[in-house]
Each structure stands twice: as C-alpha cells, then as structure tokens.
Structure 1
Amino acid sequence: MSVESVKTYFKQWNREMDIMEFETSSATVDQAAETIGVIPARIAKTLSFRGNEEKAILIVAAGDAKVDNKKFRQKFGFKPRMLTPDEVLEQTGHAIGGVCPFGLKNEIDVFLDISMQRFETLFPACGSTNSAIELSKDEILQYSSAVEWVDVCKGWEDEALLKDSQQLEV
C-alpha cells in the first residue's frame, strides 16, 4: 500500500507518526479540507505531468491554484499534459487522490509552486485517499527534494486579494 511507502520514507526524519489517516476520504482538495478542518487553499495538491523524454514531473501547489498553461510552457518549454491515472500510479507508485512528492516509486523532478508560500503550514497527501501530514513550506521543500520554487499557477492571487479586501471592509 502506498501510504506504507510514505511512512517508510518519513522514518528518516522520525516523522512517520505524524501522518494522519482518516475514516473519511481526503482524495480531493475539498474533501481533504473538510476532513482536516482547514480552508481548501491549505491543501497541498500534487499534480503529475508528462515531462521531456517520457519522464514525469510533479508540481505541488496550493489547493486553490490552477496551472496556467502559458506560465507552465514558459518555465518548462513544453505544453502541460497531465498523466492518466494509470500513468500516475506507474510513475509515482501513488493512486490519484493520494499522490504526493514523498516515497515515490521512481525518481521524479518535483517543483513547488509559489502559491503555497503564503501559508505557514500546508497539508499534502501521504500516498492514500485518506491521509495527510501537516508540514511547513520549508519541510515540504526538504522532504520532497524539490528542484525549486516555480510560478506556474493562477487563480490563487485573485482569491488572496479578495480575502484581503474583505478583511479590510470588516
């Protein structure tokens, strides 16, 4: 089971006991947010794309962010094409709904989107459709062995600005 590979992976930092497993599904951003009791934006979702030479790449982004095709193409030099569920499982060892940048089956380049930088902690999945761990953005960077922070998403800035303006009105 994939959550077991993530627990094994986190043993090197003595963090395997910090993985939360739930009775309810946390497979989607909204389900995870409801299960954990946080806003959807604090769910760190892992998106799987076809890279160059049949190698996958992973983008970890805030739950309210969407990949911006133009930004992605400018950064990576190719059009973003998501992997099929079978390809995701083959490449990462994790099924859709539990994909994370930890305990991966293959060596895959991981990139972290700046949409996550506005939060002190986020909740990425841990290899199953009912698991998560609370990590700081620095811990996500460390534990995922990410290549770098990137700016390839959209939508979250508008939401952040809207929340800021609503707070000013209160």
Structure 2
Amino acid sequence: MAIEAVKDYFKQYGREKDILEFDESSATVELAAHALNVIPARIAKTLSFKSEKGCILVVTAGDAKVDNRKFKSEFGIKAKMLSPEEVLDLTGHAVGGVCPFGIKNEAVSVYVDVSLKRFETVFPACGSSNSAIELSCDELYQYAQGLKWSDVCKNWE
C-alpha cells in the first residue's frame, strides 16, 4: 500500500497532512522513538500474525511483548508471526512501515492492545519506513478500524 495510499486513506478524515515523514529511518521502535524524540513505549508498533482467515494485526505499545498464553486465550491460536513476504502480500505494507490503515483485504483483522491506553497520544507508522502520525488512542482505534481492544501483551505495566 505504501505511504501514498495511507495519505489517500487519511484524506477522508482530513488528516493526510498530519503524516510525518523523516529523513532518517523509523523502521524499528527505537529508530522511530529517536526520529520523533519520544520514549519508545509511545511508538504504536503493528505486529502481524498468521490466522486461519489470513492474518491478525495487533497494534501495541513499543515496549510491550506479546504474551503467548494471552494471545492463545484471545484468538484461539498460537501466536505465529508472518514472514516479511506474507506481511507485504496481505497488508500491502513492507516490514518497517506496517500499519493498520486502509487495509482492504478481508483476510486481515485489526486489534488494538490496551498497552497503548496509558498514553494521551501514540505514533503508528504510515506505510513506509520513515513515517508516522500522532493519534490519540481513540483515533488510532477508529482509523485502524479495530475490531476490539485486546489484552495480549506483557512487560509494559
């Protein structure tokens, strides 16, 4: 999908000009935090997992780790990450710029983790390895078309 498609997606909300693009990489939590001058926990990372239907995207705080027990309890399957090729194929985004915005593939389900709720605003990527947007948690949930707030992470409390 790439950044141009994400910008097009945000036009419906009048937010396309709020997408930030950096001269440096923001492909990892640490790099994004450095580019934005924020703590790593405020980076909203999007993790991609295999599901029977296709994939589950979980948007979580930058300092959170997926808890396999909680994940299995929530989704009824073992947490198995997608390969970079599968991520690109299913979401339209390459690893380093994966985000939950504007994904039209019905095989993709988006969940937002409660680990983000401790922040007023967070910074998810926008389809490239050098982009982000600042959103409130409610905006993130809305724009990502989240199916529900999940609790599948550990090490953030």
TM range (shorter): over 0.9
Q: Which has the higher helix share?
A: 1
Q: Distance in 2 between matches of 1:147 and 1:104?
A: 13
Find the counterpart in structure 1 of residue 119 from structure 2.
119
Q: Distance in 2 between matches of 1:103 and 1:7?
A: 9
Find the counterpart in structure 2 of residue 89 from structure 1.
88
Q: Distance in 1 between matches of 2:109 and 2:59?
A: 11
Letter in 1 for 2:94: A
Q: Distance in 1 between matches of 2:21 and 2:3?
A: 9
The equivalences for 1:21-170 within 5 A come to 21-53=21-53, 55-107=54-106, 108-157=108-157
Letter in 2 for 1:155: N
- Please report how far the alpha carbon of residue 103 of structure 1 lies from its aligned counterpart in structure 2 after TM superposition: 2.1
Cα RMSD (Å) = 0.9
Alignment gaps of 5+ in structure 1:
158-170
8 Å Cα contact 1:94/1:104 also seen in 2 = no
User: What do the CA deviations read for 1:49-89 (whole angstroms, capped 9, x no partner)?
Assistant: 00123x11100000000000000001110100000000000
Letter in 2 for 1:106: N
Q: Distance in 2 between matches of 1:4 and 1:92?
A: 14
User: What do the CA deviations read for 1:132-153 (whole angstroms, capped 9, x no partner)?
Assistant: 0000000001101100001000
Alignment gaps of 5+ in structure 2:
none
8 Å Cα contact 1:91/1:105 also seen in 2 = no
User: What do the CA deviations read for 1:141-170 (whole angstroms, capped 9, x no partner)?
Assistant: 11011000010000101xxxxxxxxxxxxx
Secondary structure, counterpart of 2:57 in structure 1: strand
Whose radius of gyration is greater, 1 or 2? 1
Secondary structure, counterpart of 2:98 in structure 1: coil
- State, as a whole percentage, how many aligned pairs show the same letter: 64
State the 4+ residue runs in structure 1 displaced beyond 4 angstroms. none
Secondary structure, counterpart of 2:100 in structure 1: coil
- Name which structure has the greater RCO, CA cutoff 8 Å, separation 6+: 2
Letter in 2 for 1:94: H
TM-score, length-scaled by structure 2: 0.97
Secondary structure, counterpart of 1:14 in structure 2: coil
Cα distance 1:131–1:101, how it changes in 2: closer, same or farther (>3 A)?
Answer: same
Secondary structure, counterpart of 2:139 in structure 1: helix
